[in-house]
Amino acid sequence: MPQVDLKSVRPYGDTLDDGKVQLGFTLPIRYGPEAKEAARQLVMKMGFEGADVVSAHDLGGHFTYFVVYGKCVHSVDVTSLRVPKVEVEQMDFFKINDLVRDKLGRKITVVAACTGSDAHTVGIDAIINMKGYAGEYGLERYPWFRAHNLGAQVPNETLVAKAIDTDADAILVSQVVTQRNVHIANMTRLVDLLEAEGIRDDVILVAGGPRISHELALELGYDAGFGPGTLPSHVAAYIAQEMVRKEHRTSPDLGKER
């Protein structure tokens, strides 16, 4: 195993520190030699050396897709990075349910949806539905959770109304559609509605999706953000642990029915 200098990390292609990268992009230019040269020069202007257009595909009309190889001359000091992350103890299905049973004594109610124009339910289904994902059960299977999956293209107003109607402890929002940052506006709108109803501080608000990070979620007023690779147990453990902390802060009288 070669020794990696974490203070100066560069892309790995064929050998350590060679800086080799592959870029794929589309230009609004008709396919041809001029288009390939335009792609090569563009990559050179991005700061890459030795740019080589290895593939160009005519997309029809005035569009061409390119794959370009190049050499990155920059590096990054990994030791200086400070990235906000969800702080949670990883627990399995059984330990999560034991925690809720022993520390709360009641079920945790969760409502979830793909909101706005988003119709991609694969992510939220993986977390919520009983069948789960990657060998893990979804929250519907957890005996100490009461999960409501509202599905796709749910208006924020409908999600908030459901949260109020069920006296929800947590709200999960899945955002896959991100063109023109529509997810930013949609996520912000949900926070505004919860604040207008006076229940923002009463719920644990979680967002997830391919372009969702914990840092972005915090910036938009959420409690946590989960990106690609998230499993049902990750979300369940976070909610359970937050509920325990929250209820211990607000009331010593745990175990009440709800």
Question: Which residues in the chain come in under a pLDDT of 70?
Answer: 1, 250-258
List 131, 162, 246, 256, catalytic entry = 131
* 110 touches 139 (CB < 8 A): yes
The predicted structure's pLDDT at residue 205: 98
In angstroms, the Cα distances linking 33 to 39, 51, 58, 229 are: 10, 15, 12, 40
Taking only the tens place, the pLDDT of each residue in 194-209 is 999 999 999 999 999 9
Tell me how many helices (H) and strands (E) the chain has.
7, 8
131 part of the active site: yes
Helix axes 182-196, 156-166, angle to 10 degrees: 40
From 208, 209, 240, select the one nearest 224 (Cα to Cα): 208
| CATH numbers and ranges of domains, the chain | 1-81 (3.30.30.60), 93-250 (3.40.50.280)
Burial of 43-79, coded b for 16+ CB within 10 Å and e otherwise, reads beeeebeebebeebeeeeeeebebebbbbbeeeeeee
The predicted structure's pLDDT at residue 256: 46
* 70 touches 51 (CB < 8 A): yes
Q: What's the CA gap between 116 and 119, in Å, rounded?
A: 8
